Amino acid sequence: MQNTHLEYRVGYTPLGGRLYAGFVRKDNGKWEGIHHDVTDCAIFAVGQKLARERKDVRYYLPDGRVMQVSAVITGAETTEEDHANR
């Protein structure tokens, strides 16, 4: 039996900077039951998808700004400092 008052979501918590997945109440948006930290696996999966498809994704925000998400896979010898200098 399905509970029509709940929906499965992935959400971001600014306080802890983590992504969580679980069931949320439709009426008030509060977590119901257990939710799981999926930060590392979610970011890795999105990075794999974007790098493999070689395209960026754009999200248009309500205030008119645009969030662009992209990923690049580099060699093991490449460091974060190398990317910062590009």
For residues 34 and 20, give the distance between their C-alpha atoms in angstroms, rounded to a whole number. Answer: 10
79: pLDDT strictly greater than 80: no
User: Euclidean distance between the first and final Cα of the chain, in Å?
Assistant: 54
pLDDT at 1: 44
CA dihedral 43, 46, 48, 54 (to 10 degrees): -130
17-48 pLDDT, tens digit per residue, is 999 999 999 999 898 989 999 999 999 999 99
